[in-house]
A and B are shown apart, each in its own frame.
Chain A
């Protein structure tokens, strides 16, 4: 029942998105613009400062993620469809899981474009350790999306949601940006520091477990008016 509901929510979001592809395209373009803005701000005499690539990649993921979170729930708010979802005889945490999976998938697709782009612009060896790199990206994205989905959902009823989302989200997801950037930088170093990257991966995984558990526990209470 639980996973079926989560899957149905995901399929519903997927079906809407596949028709217009609005959120995917806008998120992607925004992420690419982010990379370019940071590139122009940081590159000096044709050279990027050391460790700029992982920093720019994670900033782009977080900024684009914030935008995607806002847009996804704006769509639900516009059609008053989240209220309908909440009225359905389904376990509420399953709705959260469905929404979270949707955001993680969307950001995953965005990363498929972003990572090669950053690798291309900054000559960074992103594909030297593909398994660890994928795990780091996945753990970081899930952690960011876990807190983001809960906050975006609960901010739906608030008028100032657009600015409150980043204000609340960034201080709490700081471990994600530190862990993501440091872990990715360790993998991009030559030679790659796998022990360091694995340690950051473990911290990110622990963050994911704690915050998904807390979100599942609080989602029901927070979404009840």
Chain B
């Protein structure tokens, strides 16, 4: 089922991306920020995708710690890798916009700091998996679990500093404040989400095959020994 679904999703994703670009091109430049405002269509969806990756990594980690199933671990690593990838897109696009909108590349604002720290935690997660040696899946699962659990604390403690980032209420209010921005935004979000699912599926399949190959090697060594 998964194998048949994959090319279909890939095709949908390609169409969505082209549609999103056409929609983005059609919206007239925003009055105060001009062309730079269009970063918004890449920036917001990539953070949504990062938080989705973190959620998958967190749930996968808890599932793995509780049951020890290899598929739980594969889901966690896929989520962790995607979180780092999409987080990087968000971290690059954010400062490009901020330089124009705020006049500075970076602000120690609650949302920025939380996102940066969470991203760093999941970079640490991948570092443990890469350099932790045998048995590092469990250590990584603990990092995934703790990294997810610390998010509300980080957000709350940095929130006490003043926030300059546009509030998330910008999003639900978009139909009233700027109705022309809704179609490109929706197209962007959907294309990022479908891309996320496509990459997740590919990564899970890769993990499955790696596990199969490892099993075959072990079986072969047993026979020749």
Contact = CB atoms under 8 A, between A and B. Distances in A.
Contacts of A211: 146, 149
Given A154-B138, A178-B158, A218-B145, A171 B121 contact: yes
A135 B154 CA distance: 21
Contacts of B156: 175, 203
A150 B117 CA distance: 20
A172 B121 contact: yes
Interface stretch (A74-82, A109-117, A158-166): A158-166
Interface string B37-77: 00000000000000000000000000001100000000000
B143 interface: yes
A225 interface: yes
A160 B147 contact: no
Interface string B112-153: 000001001100100110011101101100110111011001
B153 A221 contact: no
Contacts, number: 76
B25 interface: no
Number of contact residues on A: which range applies?
A: 20 to 34
A49 to B, nearest CB: 16
A218 B142 contact: yes
Given A211-B146, A214-B145, A214-B146, A222 B153 contact: no
Given A164-B128, A203-B156, A218 B133 contact: no
21 contacts: A154-B139, A154-B142, A157-B133, A157-B135, A164-B127, A164-B131, A167-B127, A168-B128, A171-B120, A172-B146, A175-B153, A175-B157, A179-B157, A182-B157, A182-B160, A203-B156, A206-B153, A214-B145, A221-B65, A221-B66, A225-B135
Interface of A: 147, 150-151, 154-155, 157-160, 164, 167-168, 171-172, 174-175, 178-179, 182, 203, 206-207, 210-211, 214, 218, 221-222, 225
Given A158-B128, A211-B149, 16 more contacts: A154-B138, A154-B139, A154-B142, A157-B135, A158-B132, A158-B136, A171-B121, A172-B121, A174-B154, A175-B156, A175-B157, A178-B158, A182-B157, A214-B146, A218-B65, A225-B135
